[in-house]
């Protein structure tokens, strides 16, 4: 008899819980997801953090949070977590009244890119394990994965030679506006460099010393075509070559920025949601490194403009060091390079090879 009473009580409780679930749905539930870092480099790790809170006097036997996850975000295995084919992420929760649960999932970032995992489908179920109310939501959860930077020994010639020439050329001229200290006056020092307050304090003539500068600019250009007439999607190994080119361009841009050289990059590939070629003219300021890395992360490997036409788009450049990273050259490409040189630019062409794959 007691068994029947218990069974009837459980059934009644289950039907009541299901009625409440269907009546009130997921009201009172809040769910957020974010990464522990906004940016990271390829190959590093981050945490994906889930926070779910039940703000009602209502027990939820189970709640499932599902979302699509890029295969290049590799999540570790753990309790209450399932990753199907490394593409779908599923977390299961049981929530008491007014309970908050926080879960942290370690994620290895396998490839450069911009990843948004904020689209989540929530489904709550009753005591019988039958799915009930569902809700689709979006919570800000984006991480930018910067390209892998190369060691000095991994930068191919003539790229490394160009980088060294730019850094050395940076020290040819002094900049009168960049003062880094004072020293004793020496015969031949210009009068305009005398630091009069310091001279009065020291009782002897003191002159300002300056940092060095030069009007040097670098533009790294990446060609997404594998041949003169290529148009369609790239094979995996071809995409690896472009990824390698992106790593080379990012490494060189950051190295010369650190030496005080203005840097930028261009590609006949779109960035983010854009469908137009990418062009960031050379600049040098405090936020430039972050700007370039974010642009490299958002670059999509897809040709959106013929390379010859794209080189014509660069004809506004004057006095710029141009580094072209391309899988091929041709008479037509060489003629476009000659035109850029006649405009007062120096142009270095580096031909990518099939074995140059992203590390």
157-194 tens-digit pLDDT = 667 667 666 766 655 445 554 556 777 877 777 777 78
Topology adopted by domain 152-170+214-351: Rossmann fold (3.40.50)
Instruction: Say if domain 28-146 classifies as CATH 2.70.160.11.
Output: no
Q: What does the pLDDT profile of the chain (359 residues) look like in tens digits?
A: 566 656 665 555 555 556 555 555 577 788 999 999 999 999 999 999 999 998 888 778 888 888 888 889 988 765 455 555 557 788 888 888 899 999 999 999 999 999 999 889 888 776 655 556 667 888 889 999 999 999 888 877 667 667 666 766 655 445 554 556 777 877 777 777 788 888 887 888 888 775 554 567 899 999 999 988 877 778 877 899 999 999 999 999 998 888 888 999 999 999 988 999 999 999 999 999 999 999 999 999 999 999 999 999 999 999 899 999 999 999 999 999 999 999 989 899 999 986 554 44
Q: H or E stretch including 318?
A: none
Cα–Cα distance, 169 to 214 (Å, whole number) = 7
Fold match flag (28-146 vs 152-170+214-351): no
pLDDT given for residue 217 in this prediction: 87
The C-alpha atoms of residue 328 and residue 303 are separated, in whole angstroms, by: 15
Strand spans (E) along the chain? 29-35, 39-41, 45-54, 60-68, 73-75, 81-84, 88-95, 100-109, 113-116, 119-125, 131-138, 142-146, 173-184, 206-213, 217-222, 262-267, 278-283, 321-326, 346-351
The pLDDT value recorded for residue 357 is: 47
**Nearest Cα to 245, choosing from 261, 268, 262?**
268
HSE, CB side, 13 Å, CA atoms: give it for residue 78.
Answer: 11
What pLDDT does 359 receive? 43
Instruction: Give the predicted TM-score (pTM) of the model.
Output: 0.77
How far is residue 173's CA from residue 102's CA, in Å, rounded to a whole number?
57
Query: Please, which residues have CB within 8 angstroms of residue 33's CB and are 6 or more apart in sequence?
Result: 48, 49, 50, 51, 67, 117, 118, 120, 139, 141
Output the pLDDT for position 140: 86
The residues spanned by each domain of the chain are 28-146, 152-170+214-351, 177-211
**Nearest-angstrom CA–CA distance, 155 and 309:** 28
């Amino acid at each position: 008899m007691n068994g029947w009473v218990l069974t009837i009580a459980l059934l009644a409780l289950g039907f009541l819980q299901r009625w409440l679930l269907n009546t009130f749905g997921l009201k009172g539930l809040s769910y957020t997801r974010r990464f522990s870092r906004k940016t990271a480099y390829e190959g590093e790790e981050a945490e994906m953090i889930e926070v779910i809170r039940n703000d009602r006097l209502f027990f939820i036997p189970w709640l499932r949070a599902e979302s699509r996850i890029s295969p290049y975000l590799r999540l570790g295995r753990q309790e209450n977590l399932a990753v199907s084919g490394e593409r779908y992420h599923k977390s299961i929760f049981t929530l008491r009244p007014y309970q908050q649960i926080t879960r942290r999932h370690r994620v290895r970032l396998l490839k450069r890119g911009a990843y948004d995992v904020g689209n989540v489908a929530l489904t709550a179920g009753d005591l019988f394990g039958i799915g009930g109310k569902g809700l689709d939501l979006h919570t800000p959860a984006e991480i930018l994965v910067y390209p892998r930077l190369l060691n000095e020994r991994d930068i191919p010639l003539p790229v490394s030679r160009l980088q060294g020439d730019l850094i050395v050329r940076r020290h040819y001229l002094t900049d009168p506006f960049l003062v880094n200290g004072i020293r004793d006056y020496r015969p031949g020092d210009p009068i305009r460099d005398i630091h009069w307050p310091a001279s009065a304090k020291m009782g002897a003539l003191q002159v300002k010393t300056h940092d060095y500068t030069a009007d040097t600019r670098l533009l790294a250009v990446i060609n997404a075509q594998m041949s003169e007439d290529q148009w369609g999607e790239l094979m995996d190994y071809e995409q690896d070559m472009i990824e390698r080119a992106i790593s080379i361009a990012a490494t060189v841009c950051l190295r010369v920025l650190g030496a005080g050289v203005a840097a930028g990059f261009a590609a006949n590939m779109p960035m983010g949601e854009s469908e137009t070629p990418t062009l960031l003219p050379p600049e040098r300021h405090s936020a430039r490194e972050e700007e370039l890395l974010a642009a490299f992360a958002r670059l999509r490997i897809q040709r959106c403009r013929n390379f010859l036409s794209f080189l014509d788009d660069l004809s506004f450049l004057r006095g710029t060091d141009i580094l072209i990273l391309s899988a091929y050259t041709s008479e037509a490409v060489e003629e476009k390079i000659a035109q850029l040189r006649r405009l007062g630019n120096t142009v270095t062409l580096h031909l990518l090879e099939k074995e140059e794959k992203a590390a």
